[in-house]
Every structure is written in structure tokens, then in C-alpha cells.
Amino acid sequence: MKTKPIIGFIGVGLMGHGMAANILKGGYTLYIKGNSNRTPIDDLVAKGATEVDSPKEMAALCDIIHLCLPNSDSVEATIRGDDGILAGGKAGLIVVDSSTANPTSTVTLAQELEAAGMHMVDAPLGRTPKEAEAGMLDAMVGADDATFAKVLPLIECWAGIINHVGPVGSAHKMKLIMNFISMGYAAIYAEALSVGVKSGLTPQVINDVIGASRLSNGFFDTFMSCAVGRDMEVHKFSITNASKDVHYASAMASNVRALNPVGEAVKSYYTAVEAAGHGADYVPHLADHVARMNGFELAEAVKKGAK
């Protein structure tokens, strides 16, 4: 009987908690390391996970380690630090990075891991914490064919749609393209609401007309559920994370000398809101901040439009 690999998971936050919980449901032995928030850690321990103190300790115990971290700096520290994965891992260990990261950093880390006999897979995510809990995230995977085959059963625990997009680094590139589009949508929707309201339209009319047209999509529905429906918790993805992602996308464009003026405009909105101290707000809240830049409160316009 084939033995299941032993799994580690570092970063059990909004997305990582659901992913880790579904790995446990898949029958895997799971070691976890979280941050300051004890709630998801305690919940996973109660479900059967074992907490460890460092990535180094985890690397000595596990066959595959998942990372779901805020940015490339934290991924690099987790892998390269004195108590990091490279310090404790053995040959054959696979690191699956589900963070949205800088592809250049990813490729460099993959080379460093390969030199130590280990392997890197980039597997960034699509969708929200709701789908993470349901085991129905989208996954883009960058890996060679042999390594992809090894991690596929594990990824199937938490993903409903899985695309093997190419070698290591390619999935992080694809994720940046996806987030450039989605964060661009958010900036356009926020700006459109402000222009429309200042022109005399109600937020409800803008939502209803576009929502019933071919311009509608799932992201539009979620964004407007917040901006117009005032469900402020509907999409728990922070402005800080969005800003990081569009900055990474801008850097990727610059690295290949690609024209990216729309990306620069999108980036400016997130940079401005983050710089104003609102980075913890969620992406659909961008509509409220852009409205304030235009001299009005979107919530008041929504109330007025309902009369």
C-alpha cells in the first residue's frame, strides 16, 4: 500500500486555513505553522494538525510543504532563513508556493532548492476564502511534469479547477496577469461609479444596467455586492495585497520591456489608497475611496438612490 506524503503548511490565514483543512480531510498527516492569529491554528490542531515552531523543523518532518504567505519577501525568508526550509530540508522535499509572488524571485528560489536536491512548485490561487473552505479554489501550477504528478493529488484536495501552465515560475506570471485584470476591473468599476453618480445616475442604475448586459461577470457581481449592496465582507482581499500584486505585475512588464500604461494607472489607485492608511480595507472598498476622492460618500449615494 502506497503511503501518503507528509505535508506541511505555512501561512494558515484567510486562504490557507481552508486549504489546510481540506488537506486534513484528504487523509494527510499535516504539520502547520501560523502567525499571530491563534484562531485558525487552534482550529486546525483540533482537527488533527500538529503545530511546529519553525520552517526548519517542518522541513525535517515533511515530504511536501505548502506556503501561503503575503509576498515574496516572506517566502524568501521562510526558505532561506537560519530557521528556514533550506536549513532543515532533505533531498526530495517539494515546496509548493501558493502565494502571489514575484516570478523572478520564484525562479531564483527554485534554483537554490534544486541545488540542495529539493524542488519548487508555484501554485497561486484564484477565488476567495469561501471557495478555500469549500475546497473549490482555482489553481495555476508551474512545475516539471514529474513534480506536477507528485503534487496533483494534494492540490486536488483544495482546488476545483487546476491548470498546469508550464515550468516553475510560469504560474506566478499567469497569476499576475489574472490579478492585473481583476484589480483593473475593480479600478474601472470604482471610477465608473464615481463618474456616473457625479453625472446624476444612481449606483443602482449603473449596477442594474451593466449587471444585465454582456459586460457583467462574476467579479462585477461580487464588487457591486459590496459597492452598491453594501456587503462590506463579500470579498476579503486587502488593498495592501492588491497593491503588492499590481506592483509585481508592473515589474514583470518592465522586465520584458512591455508597454503597460493601463497597469500604471491601475497601480496608482491602490498606491494612493494604501498610502492614505487604508491598506487593510478590502478591494471592493476601493469604490468608496474613489468616491471620496471625487467629493462624495458612496454609501450616501446608495441610500439616496434607493428612495
Can you tell me the mean pLDDT for 258-266? 97
The tens digit of pLDDT for each residue in 83-102 reads 999 999 999 999 999 999 99
Asked if 220 contacts 211 with a C-beta cutoff of 8 angstroms, the reply is yes
Residues of the chain with CATH 3.40.50.720: 7-166
H or E, element range at 179: helix 170-198
3-state DSSP assignment of residue 201: coil
Give the residue-averaged pLDDT of 211-238: 96
Q: Is residue 47 annotated as a catalytic residue, yes or no?
A: no
The neighbouring-strand residues paired with 163 are: 140
Question: pLDDT of 129-171, one tens digit each?
Answer: 899 999 999 999 999 999 999 999 999 999 999 999 999 999 9
Instruction: Say which of 175, 244, 304, 307 is annotated catalytic.
Output: 175
Alpha carbons 73 and 106: distance in angstroms, whole number:
11
State the residue for C-alpha cell 492614505: 276
CATH 1.10.1040.10 residue ranges for the chain: 173-305
Helices H / strands E in the chain, number of each: 15, 9
Does the structure show a pLDDT above 90 at 1?
Answer: no
User: Looking at residue 233, what is its pLDDT?
Assistant: 93
Fold of the CATH domain 7-166: Rossmann fold (3.40.50)
Homologous superfamily of domain range 173-305 = N-(1-d-carboxylethyl)-l-norvaline Dehydrogenase; domain 2 (1.10.1040.10)
DSSP state of 275: I
Q: Is 83 exposed, middle or buried (0-12, 13-18, 19+ CB in 10 A)?
A: middle
Provide the pLDDT for residue 2: 63
